[in-house]
Chain A
Amino acid sequence: MRALLHYARVWLAFARFGLMRELSFRGNFLIKVSVEILWLAILLIFYDMVFTHTRVVAEWSRDEYLFFVGCYYALGGVIETFFLINCSEFSELVRTGDLDFYLLLPANEQFLITTRDLDWATLPNIFLGAGVSIVALVRLGWPVELGRLLLFLILFGCGVALAYSFLVILTAASVWLVRNQSLYEVWWLFTTFMRYPREIFTGRWAYPIGWFFSFVVPVIIVTNVPARMMVKALEPELAVYTVLASVVLVAISGKIFRLSLQHYRSASS
């Protein structure tokens, strides 16, 4: 418990330092925030354009799909705000040998490397995504029950844990790939499976792919399970699988990260 408190204090210090740095360049910070809003606007234009041509996409109605978009955007915001900026710098730490400094500090390496900074500019994404989801729920006339909301928050947390684990595994790959400098791009490409409803994976060749990326590499379920549970129906087996998968994957990604550190050869010494 004391260790947890210690890490919480360290993390708060990181967050405070990051905020001070961001506010030193306020203009830049505001532009970064406006880019995120612009991207959400483009997503919503695309969404609106699609639904001017059809009333349903893969069993998702206009408002249900809007909730899905909001849910994905909020989840992406959590990953970008708390972890992505740190993980994207890992390959450079490996390449230059600067990783030595973090390995010598008296703290958990994975904690230091994946959480040492906060991308404050993407923090509004979480609220924007939540806002879009709430608009969708209002339009659906949804009576938000407490139990359903709690279950949604648990599954959303599992989705974050799954996404974080995949990010850690991709980050760890930097040690073997030497130059994995395009982690932002790799991450964006990988998360393409989180952006769409699982039901689009239908048909002779698409179904096995959807199954593989739901149950073997469980990336599709990251957004699908919480969003579906909230606006469509709860699938208990899938919900239990999501919880178990998140626990297992967090453990596996931690092991892979440690393994990658064991293969690290300091470039500077």
Chain B
Amino acid sequence: MKPTLSSLPFEQADCSDDSGSVWPRASFLLEAGKYGRILRIALVERLAYRLDFILSTLLRFLPMLTTILLWLAVYAGAGRLSEGELGGFSLNEMISYLLLVHISRMFSSMPGLAQGIARDIRDGNLKKYLLQPISLLPYLLAYRAAHKVAYITMTAVPYAVLFFLCRDFFAGWPSAPVLLAYAVSLVLGFLVGFFFEAALGMLGFWFLEVSSFLYVVGTLNFFLSGHMFPFDLLPATFAHILKNLPFQYLAYFPAAIFLNKVPQDMLFSALATEAAWAIALALLAGWLYRCGLRRYSAYGG
């Protein structure tokens, strides 16, 4: 469970009223300063619970370890430990993939975001975004970005150690264009993950309780994003379908870029498709928010 957004303290900016708008309209610098302060406060909040954070970070390495060992056993069982492939992935590529999806999820996972939005709608706390000079989606984007910065900064060292220990599984660094495309795919993955979850949270305007539905989506997401294993191991038809859904950008796609599974001449178009999904989901989340506000009655609070 994540902290409720309403429990966060933040300085109130004295800028013009843009209540109800999805994105800020006033002076860009003033707005940037405001959301920059939110980012800083969220960072401080994140670092306040260091022990809890360190414990969960350390435990997060355990599934990586057991998954690697499981796939070593699978390849050994198939007699393809030293050479040969399963679904177009050699053993080294498979282990690299399973490590890289954790980096993908580090950017794209948004625990508690949809739940928090739905709760704010249900409890009536949403009205603070309507009364104060702050907009819901940019606020949450800045808040999430801060959490990601804090998390990535604090886990950089353990992840660096892990990747150093596992360096033999990697075929080396990819070329500069691929590396750049990888970085872009991760940032876009963050946006796809954020706006997808935000759009789900907006369902709270229409349904009183959405937690069970979110749980279904979360469970499916684990499979559909390619977090468990690369789609290429599935029959071709299923793999083709999954590679055309936006969920792939949350785990599979960035890892596939890093491992050169996306041909270089298709990198630009593939990233453009990912960007299009991010924009489409942002528009969807904004549209749902505007539609939802029309039926919002500000109960409770």
A residues within 8 Å of B by Cβ? 25, 28, 31-32, 34-35, 38-39, 42, 45-46, 49-50, 53-58, 92, 173, 176-182, 185-186, 189-190, 192-193, 195-197, 199-203, 206, 209
Are B77 and A57 in contact, with the CB atoms below 8 A? yes
Are B51 and A190 in contact, with the CB atoms below 8 A? no
**Looking across the interface, which residue of chain A has its beta carbon closest to that of B87?**
A53
Are A46 and B229 in contact, with the CB atoms below 8 A? yes
Check A25/B209 contact, CB under 8 A, given A49-B234, A180-B52, A189-B56: yes
B contact residues, total (Cβ < 8 Å): 40
Are B213 and A31 in contact, with the CB atoms below 8 A? yes
Check A190/B74 contact, CB under 8 A, given A31-B212, A49-B229, A206-B69: no
Give bound CA distance, A42 to B216, whole Å.
Answer: 12
**B72 interface residue (CB < 8 Å to A):** yes
Are B62 and A192 in contact, with the CB atoms below 8 A? yes
Most chain B C-beta atoms within 10 Å of own C-beta, residue among A92, A185, A192: A192
Mask: chain B, 208-239; 1 = CB below 8 Å from A; 0 = not: 01011101100110110000110001100000
Min CB gap B248→A, angstroms: 16
Are B233 and A181 in contact, with the CB atoms below 8 A? no
B28 contact set on A, CB distance < 8 A: none
- Is the contact region of chain B dominated by helix, strand, or loop, or is it mixed? helix
B72 contact set on A, CB distance < 8 A: 200, 203
Out of A42, A54, A202, name the residue touching B223 (CB < 8 Å).
Answer: A42
B228 contact set on A, CB distance < 8 A: 42, 46
Give bound CA distance, A178 to B50, whole Å.
Answer: 10
Are A195 and B66 in contact, with the CB atoms below 8 A? yes
B residues within 8 Å of A by Cβ? 1-3, 49, 51-52, 55-56, 59-60, 62-63, 65-66, 69-70, 72-78, 86-87, 111, 209, 211-213, 215-216, 219-220, 222-223, 228-229, 233-234
Most chain B C-beta atoms within 10 Å of own C-beta, residue among A55, A173, A182: A182
- Is the contact region of chain A dominated by helix, strand, or loop, or is it mixed? helix
Out of A25, A32, A50, A209, name the residue touching B74 (CB < 8 Å).
Answer: A50
A-B contact pairs, 10 of them (CB 8 A): A28-B209, A28-B211, A35-B219, A50-B74, A58-B70, A177-B49, A179-B52, A182-B1, A185-B111, A197-B73
Are B216 and A38 in contact, with the CB atoms below 8 A? yes
What are the 8 tightest A-B residue pairs by CB atom distance, in nearest-first order? A31-B212, A54-B77, A54-B78, A189-B59, A58-B73, A200-B69, A181-B1, A56-B77
Give bound CA distance, A129 to B215, whole Å.
Answer: 20
Are B212 and A199 in contact, with the CB atoms below 8 A? no
Min CB gap B144→A, angstroms: 16
Are A196 and B49 in contact, with the CB atoms below 8 A? no
A192 contact set on B, CB distance < 8 A: 62-63, 65-66
Out of A32, A39, A50, A201, name the residue touching B69 (CB < 8 Å).
Answer: A201
Are A53 and B86 in contact, with the CB atoms below 8 A? yes
B86 contact set on A, CB distance < 8 A: 53
Are A28 and B212 in contact, with the CB atoms below 8 A? yes
Min CB gap A185→B, angstroms: 7
